[in-house]
Amino acid sequence: MAADVDDLIAPDAPPWFRRALHTPFFDEFVEVEGTRIHYLAWGEPGRRGLVFVHGGAAHAHWWTHVAASFSRQYRVAAIDLSGHGDSGHRTDYSLERWSREVMAVAADAGIDGQPVLVGHSMGGFVTIATGALHADDLAGVIVLDSPVAEPAHEIGAAKAGQAFGVPRVYPTAEEGLAHFRTVPPQEHYLPYVMHHVARRSLKEVPGGWSWKFDHNLFSAFTGSIRGVAMPYLPKVSCRFALLRAEFGLVTPDIGDSMYEMLGRSAPVVEIPEAGHHGMLDQPLLVTTAVRTLLADWDHSTPRRR
């Protein structure tokens, strides 16, 4: 949904949020395996870098108010995975192909050296796979509330696809915005963050307005979504950290299990009062957690398995 930046900022938004949305960024594109991949870029090229990866059916602007604050120190990118946001759609999707898209954006964005990836939910699964397949090209990966667990039929791909509903065209943008919701839902959101994210989620189509994501994207998962990254998690050899939302999908038991699969060598940090979509209810805590990890990684030696 095209709009002036000020139209994307709710009247009750606090100063820090306004500063983040007014931080200059560029819309960039890179071709990956025949599909045009869109990403956002902040900060000066030639600096150390961060790449933010959104969750399923989301888009790069879910991260804008978090990612922009890092642009004073880093070259920062936020990807639209294929089938999402302003990237092209494919006939089929896979975790491995999304991982190659992430690495293509990292290479194209003007980052100096090895980037750190930050992924949320399904984007965390992509980040885990990227950390296993491309560890030598990464400085580390940080995952926000991505539950890697044994397959469970109630959270299979078909069920996930149904949760997002059937593709709909709304006669007006306002009607579409009235139907914006997250999957899964959570008890608390910051209204001014939702105001921005929802308005970035719509596109104009023949007959009205519709959501940007491809409803066929869940073809990437032949079984349980929670199990898709399980083969990759033990193979991640770069720095790794798991941010667990207190009221999210990574329960303490799942966090403990992931810690074991990582060889008891990666931190598991709880984000208090956060739901699964931590950037929508506790973005400053998420930002602080990422900053703390980056500062520690600059001044510590990794613990080997």
Mean pLDDT for 52-77 is 98
Please report the pLDDT score of residue 1 as a whole number: 42
Mean pLDDT for 154-167 is 58
Read off the amino acid at residue 6: D
pLDDT (tens digit, 9 = 90+) per residue, 254-288? Answer: 999 999 999 999 999 999 999 999 999 999 999 99
pLDDT at residue 221 greater than cutoff 60:
yes
3 state DSSP class of 6: helix
Tokens of 224: 């349980």
pLDDT (tens digit, 9 = 90+) per residue, 82-126? Answer: 999 999 999 999 999 999 999 999 999 999 999 999 999 999 999
pLDDT at residue 140 greater than cutoff 90:
yes
pLDDT (tens digit, 9 = 90+) per residue, 10-56? Answer: 999 999 999 999 999 999 999 999 999 999 999 999 999 999 999 99
Among the listed residues 256, 246, 252, 255, the one whose alpha carbon sits nearest the alpha carbon of residue 281: 246
pLDDT at residue 154 greater than cutoff 50:
no
Residue 222's pLDDT band (cuts 50, 70, 90): confident
- Break the chain into its structural domains and give their ranges: 5-298
Q: How far apart, in whole angstroms, are the C-alpha atoms of residue 239 and residue 58?
A: 26
Residue 302's pLDDT band (cuts 50, 70, 90): confident
pLDDT at residue 291 greater than cutoff 50:
yes
Read off the amino acid at residue 258: M
Mean pLDDT for 191-211 is 97
Please report the pLDDT score of residue 166 as a whole number: 74
How many Cβ atoms sit within 10 Å of the Cβ of residue 5?
11
Q: How far apart, in whole angstroms, are the C-alpha atoms of residue 90 and residue 211?
A: 16
Please report the pLDDT score of residue 6 as a whole number: 86
Task: Give start and end residues of each alpha helix (H) in the chain.
Answer: 15-22, 64-67, 95-108, 122-133, 157-163, 173-178, 191-199, 252-261, 278-281, 283-298
| Residue 225 region by backbone torsions, left for phi larger than 0, else alpha for psi between -120 and 50, else beta | alpha
Mean pLDDT for 189-194 is 98
Specify the CATH class of 5-298 in words. Answer: alpha beta
Residues 280, 283, 286: CA angle, nearest 5 degrees: 125
Residue 4's pLDDT band (cuts 50, 70, 90): confident
Please report the pLDDT score of residue 303 as a whole number: 75
Residue 2's pLDDT band (cuts 50, 70, 90): very low
Determine what percent of the chain is predicted with pLDDT higher than 90. 86
Please report the pLDDT score of residue 218 as a whole number: 85
